[in-house]
A = this chain, B = another copy of it.
Amino acid sequence: MTLQENYKRYEDWKFRSSAYEMALSIINIDKLTVAPPAGAAYRDERAAYLAGELFAIQTDPTILPILAELKTDADPVIRREAELYEREILKIHVIPKEEYVAFEEAMSASYNAWLEAKKNADYAVFEPHLKGMIEWKKKLYGWRNSSLPLYDQMLDDFEPGTTTAFYDRFFSRVKERLVPLIHRVVNAEPAEEAFLYQYCPASLQKQWTTDVLLPLLGFDPSWGYQNETEHPFTSWTCENDCRTTTKYLEHNVTSSIFSTIHEVGHAWYEHNIDPRYDGTILSFGVSSGMHESQSRFCENYLGRSRAFWEAAYPSLRKQFPDQFGSVSLDAFVRAVNASKPSLIRTEADELTYPLHILIRYEIEKGLFSGSIDPADLESVWNEKYREYLGVTPSNAAEGILQDVHWADGSFGYFPTYALGSAFAAQFFRKMNEEMDVDEALRSGNYTSCIAWLKDRVQTYGAFLSADEIMQKATGSPFDPDCYLDYLEEKYSALYHL
């Protein structure tokens, strides 16, 4: 084939893939937001067929030699695309289709068992499925014939370039500095926060979010739309179609506020990726950690700051005068940053959150090295919570069974959550050197912070690696101490340590 024909086939292949990806993305968000539930079986069966069509396009064997050629193309964008496509295809290409289908079935059964187990707080129901998922992962990764340890391969899938050695260094530093800090916070005067849990009608929360919060965040209806779901998430099809969801809790008004800021942070990342990359593999955030860094940057570094609430609190107070009329700005900011060791990861505060992740990382590593037996997992879990956070689950539902990730075989994903927060700290330090972040937030100019993120991080999509982005944006390689310094400084001030 001529070079010209190769380009044409490549463009066509990307376009066809992106059409199916778009359809599946819309079918999925439709399902999770508005689609009548009784139609699920009909829709799911057809969506699965279309996913199969996408799989067939993506693993079309004639595309691999084209990608191999394009990896040496003159255009660096094409080189990077080809490299990433090849990496993703080779991961799935090696797995026989019937194996993959059998794994999907096992995963589905595992998910259902987890639901059941969690409902009854009975780890024994889930344990054989967890074992099964681990065996499946060994089998599926086995087809790749890599010389790397299995857990390293899984880590690399979520966060390219990371290894067990990398995370060991990261988490040992986290443990070293945060465990004592948390102990000091625990012994300090606790922050008053009961007023956050007063009744606030969902309709009034939604009104404030729509009329005040989303405009303040710059979430423009021309390219963004927010709906409601049980579990908030972000989904997108292109630069100009980025959707978020949230959930209103009537006895926890800040829950949807911070979930909105978080998800809109993900949406901003996707919206700000260079639109030239739309419809290609470069139009996605470069890694899980980098995506999470942008959402946590928005949620914690901007959204929980005093300066942000200087702009936002007056209108929230006006919306809920009975609830917040007598709560000062300082008391409110202190409350939304209150730290207290707790059992549930998704409800953990900014300071204790990384220890929840550390626990999961140590367990995943142990499960795949064989040093932890799934049969002992509940007690291992509880022991680690006692050791690092000083709390003990009263049952498996608020312990080992709380997260869905292992039920669907996502091992190696958790660590990116902590990494994202740490990336964000380093961006935050740099941003503060280059602009007056507090002044921007105080004056309601939130989007000038987003503009900085766009320019330094988001515009690249997956064109640059996470390492390259960090180096370019901050002038230094990743340094976890930025994160730990930030937490120490913030919580020392908040708790007068």
Nearest B-chain residue to A49, judged by Cβ: B19
Whether a CB of chain B sits under 8 angstroms from the CB of A39 is yes
Is B242 a contact of A16 with CB atoms below 8 Å? no
Q: Among the listed stretches A20-28, A63-71, A181-189, A358-366, which one makes contact with chain B, having 4 or more residues with CB under 8 Å of it?
A: A20-28
A30 CB to nearest chain B CB (Å): 5
Interface residues of A in 212-254 (CB under 8 A from B): 221-225, 227, 237-243
Interface residues of A in 15-49 (CB under 8 A from B): 15-16, 18-20, 22-23, 26-27, 29-30, 33-39, 42-43, 46-47, 49
Knowing A23-B23, A23-B27, A26-B26, the reply to whether A241 touches B46 (Cβ < 8 A) is no
User: In the bound complex, how far is the Cα of B50 from the Cα of A43, in angstroms?
Assistant: 17
Whether a CB of chain B sits under 8 angstroms from the CB of A81 is no
Whether a CB of chain B sits under 8 angstroms from the CB of A278 is yes
Which of B42, B46, B49, B240 is in CB contact (< 8 Å) with A240? B42
Interface residues of A in 273-332 (CB under 8 A from B): 278-279
Contacts of A49 in B (CB 8 A): 15-16, 19
Copies of this chain assembled into the complex: 2
A63 CB to nearest chain B CB (Å): 18
Map CB proximity to B onto A112-128 as digits: 1 under 8 Å, 0 otherwise.
Answer: 00000000000000000
Contacts of A47 in B (CB 8 A): 19, 22-23
Knowing A16-B49, A23-B27, the reply to whether A227 touches B34 (Cβ < 8 A) is yes
Knowing A16-B49, A46-B18, the reply to whether A241 touches B39 (Cβ < 8 A) is yes
What are the nearest 10 A-B pairs in CB distance?
A: A39-B241, A38-B240, A19-B46, A42-B238, A39-B240, A38-B222, A23-B23, A19-B49, A38-B223, A36-B223
Please name 15 pairs of A and B residues whose Cβ atoms are closer than 8 Å in the assembled complex, sorted by A: A18-B46, A19-B49, A22-B27, A23-B50, A26-B27, A26-B30, A34-B225, A34-B227, A34-B243, A36-B243, A38-B240, A39-B223, A39-B237, A39-B238, A43-B238
